[in-house]
Amino acid sequence: MLSEEDKKVLMQKGEDCFIDAECFFNRPFKRPIYQFDQRGKVAATAHLQRNMLRFNPILYCQNKDEFIQQIVAHEVAHLITFSLYGKVRPHGKEWQKIMQKVFTLNAKTTHSMDTKNVQGKLFLYHCLCTEHPLTIRRHNKVLKGVQYRCKKCQSELTLKII
């Protein structure tokens, strides 16, 4: 759970990014809804059609500087890109331009934060050539009949019984 102060910090950084974009493009942008309930290894997500930004409170508390320096702008850039160009590739040239020209940041598509504290239980599967740790979501899909194959040897993954 984030403190109200932490929520204000993230929202203020988002507002600063929107102001930068408005000055750059000389037009207004609708402000998003902010939520602080993102889970798992994902730092944050932009929900384009809902004009919403979701932030992972655990990763934020462990990586405040990276969120303020990169993550918030990364997600705001998705909303700005959608406002300007509609549906395009998530980290395509339009998004990259906004990251580089508007926010003067590297257009990094993924974060490098330690996610051990937020990673859920993994289930060990194997194929003919190696082992594959699957998330609970994929494990549950296997239980419902979905089959996964190894990209290397093309054999079906099966649950490793320990």
DSSP state of 149: B
Residues 88 and 131 in one domain: no
Q: Which residues are catalytic?
A: 75
| Per-residue pLDDT tens digits for 130-161 | 999 888 889 999 999 999 999 999 999 999 87
Q: What is the Cα–Cα distance from 80 to 75, expressed in whole angstroms? A: 9
User: In a 3-state reduction of DSSP, which class is residue 90?
Assistant: coil
**Number of independent structural domains in the chain:** 2
Domain range for 126 is 122-159
> Is 46 a domain residue?
yes
| pTM of the entire predicted model | 0.75
Contacts of 47 (CB under 8 A, 6+ apart): 53, 54
The mean pLDDT value for 81-94 works out to 96
Q: Is residue 85 part of a domain?
A: yes
- pLDDT over 70 percentage in the chain: 93
Q: What token pair was written down for 140?
A: 């549950």
**Pair (97, 130) in one structural domain:** no
In sequence order, the 6+-apart residues with CB closer than 8 A to the CB of 101 are 24
Q: What's the pLDDT score for residue 122?
A: 82
CATH code, 65: 3.30.2010.10
